[in-house]
Amino acid sequence: MTALADAFGRARDEGRAALIGYLPAGFPSREGSVRLMRAMVEGGVDIVEVGLPYSDPLMDGPVIQEAVGIALAEGMTPAGVIDVAGDVAGSGAATLVMSYWNPIERFGVDRFAERLAAAGGCGVITPDLTPEESADWAIATAAHGLDRVFLVAPSSTDARIGQVAAECSGFVYAASTMGVTGARSAVSDAAEGLVARVRAATDLPVAVGLGVSSGEQAAQIAEYADGVIVGSAFIRVVLESPDLEAAEQGVGGLARELAAGVRRRRDRALS
């Protein structure tokens, strides 16, 4: 059983959704990012998404762009990202890398998969790689036992969802809204319908991301999804903190709030 299947299985057994937290490696520094991701895990994040900083993040809104810009200025490289992922995986959390495609292609598709697996990473999310372009990636990830996560969106047709889900392993990433990453005050109504359509196509867990920032939103999504993904809200906490210690406390606090959120469904069912 892979680390991801394990994490989703444990959450299911506990009658709750899994909590997935994203931060870019190297933000605000190499060591700082490892400490923040460990704080996430201590606060209750089940699965960590380690962002690979890229110069042209066209699916990301201003908050992640700013964080990634800081990480690049700090000199974070794809090799460094794999190291960071290894350090985070050492804390026991299932650890994925989220990366735009070009840095992986440049690193060497097989070499990237091999190194990440050796470091202890369990999979990769690729927001701009479509199944049509992923033949080499499928071979490399299978060879090294990594899960391969693609995205579906509210605009995806049912046929398309089936096609994408068939190429996924670990879980399917459902983008809740048509738009870029960033906290939103309300999670789109489109998310629930999308999750239902994904469930019709696959038995894999479905996790919802884009726009989730509070325990309340996490609880809403946990009603119908297997996983809740939070990124920009963590980054905002870090950007607003005066120093790394405050950032660690803030990140841990937000993780606890979100972890309580994904458990609220069960509380309600029991009451």
Residues of the shown chain interacting with other proteins in the complex, contacts defined by CB under 8 A: 54-59, 61, 65, 72, 77-79, 101-107, 127-130, 132-133, 150-157, 160, 164, 175, 177-180
User: Which is nearer to other proteins, 105 or 257 (by Cβ)?
Assistant: 105
Beta carbon of residue 62, minimum distance to other proteins (angstroms, whole number): 8
Annotated catalytic residue within 6, 13, 14, 60: 60
Q: Given the complex with other proteins, which of 93 and 206 has the nearer CB atom?
A: 206
Q: Minimal distance in Å, beta carbon 245 to other proteins?
A: 30
- Check if 203 is active-site: no
Residue type at 115 in one-letter notation: R
Measured from the Cβ of residue 267, the count of other Cβ atoms closer than 10 Å reads 12
Q: What string of DSSP letters covers 47-89?
A: EEEEE---S--TT--HHHHHHHHHHHHTT--HHHHHHHHHHHH
Sole residue written with tokens 């906290």:
183
- Of the candidates 227, 264, 225, the residue with the CA atom closest to the CA atom of residue 48: 227
245 C-beta neighbours (distance < 10 Å), count: 10
Question: Which listed residue (13, 46, 49, 240) is catalytic?
Answer: 49
Quote the CA–CA distance of 136 and 90 in Å, as a whole number. Answer: 28
Q: How far is the CB of 142 from other proteins (least distance, A)?
A: 21
Choice between 44 and 51, CB closer to other proteins: 51
Would residue 240 show up in a list of annotated catalytic residues for this protein?
A: no
Residues with a catalytic annotation lie at 49, 60
